Amino acid sequence: MSEGSPHDLLTGGSADLQSLRAVLGDCHRCPLGDTRTTVVFGVGDPGARLMFIGEAPGRNEDLQGEPFVGAAGKLLDELLASIGLDRSEVYIANVLKCRPPGNRDPLPDEIDTCTPFLNEQVRLIAPDVIATLGNFATRHVLRTERPISALRGRLFHVDGRRIVPIFHPAAALYDQNKRAVLADDFRRLRAVLDAAADDPEDVATGQPSLF
C-alpha cells in the first residue's frame, strides 16, 4: 500500500477530515476520475451527531462539488428543517465521491475503491446516528440485498452505530405517498437522535429497535 493511501489513514488513526480530503486529492483511483467534474467529498459539521449517506453525486453535485444540492437536496433540506435541523448541523456524504456517467448505478470496483474514504469519514465524524438514503446506500451499509421498502422504519446497529434506513428523497420528489412516508421517517429519525442523546449506552446494551 503506497504512502498517502486511505489505508495509511485507516491504520494511522490520527487524521482529520481535512487531511483525509487532501489524501483523496484529484482522485483517479478508479475510472470515474476521468469522467467526473468535481470530487464530492462531503459537507457539514465534522462533529455532527447525525450523518446522512447517499449513493453518488448527480449532475448538480458534480458541477458544484457538494452533495444533495439539486431537487432531492432541496427536499432533504426541508425534511431536516421539519425536525429542527439545518444541513450545517449534520454531515452529508455519499458512497461514491464521483458521479457515475449518466447517473448509472455504481460498479462493485468503484465501491470497493471509494469505501475506505467513507469508512474514514464515519470514523472521524463518529456520528451517533447514520441515516442511509435509499436502496443503494442502505444495502451497502447494512450489507444486505433486501430492498429499502423492507428496511425503512427500523433501527439497526452496525459496528456499534445506530443505522436508520430511509427512502431516498429523489424517490419522493414526484410521489406524494412516498413523501408522507419520508416525513414519517424523519420524525422517527428525530426520535432515534433524541433517544441516543438520552441514553448513549443504548447501542452497547443492544436494544434491538425503538420502533
For 153-185, give one letter per residue: b (16+ CB within 10 A) or e: bebbeeeebbbbbbbbbbbbeeeeebbebbeeb
Told to check if 106 binds ligand URA by CB under 6 A, we report no
> Could you say whether residue 55 binds ligand URA (CB under 6 A)?
yes
Q: How many Cβ atoms are within 10 Å of 71's Cβ, its own excluded? A: 14
Distance CA 141, CA 119 (A): 10
Q: Tell me whether residue 39 or residue 203 sits nearer to ligand URA (CB atom).
A: 39
Residue 211, classified by CB atoms within 10 Å of its CB into exposed (0-12), middle (13-18) or buried (19+), is exposed
Of residues 137 and 181, the one with the C-beta less far from ligand URA: 137
Interface pattern 133-172 for ligand URA (x via CB under 6 A): x------------------------------------x--
By the rule CB under 6 A, 54 interacts with ligand URA:
yes
Q: Does 58 bind ligand URA (CB under 6 A)?
A: yes
C-alpha cell at 117: 474514504
Q: State which of residues 57, 100, 106, 127 lies at the interface with ligand URA (CB under 6 A).
A: 57
CA distance 194 to 145: 29
CB nearer to ligand URA: give 63 or 83: 63
Site mask, ligand URA, residues 73-102, x = CB under 6 A? Answer: ---------------------x--------
Residues 155, 164: contact at Cβ < 8 Å?
A: yes
Residues that bind ligand URA (CB under 6 A): 54-58, 61, 67-68, 72, 94, 133, 170
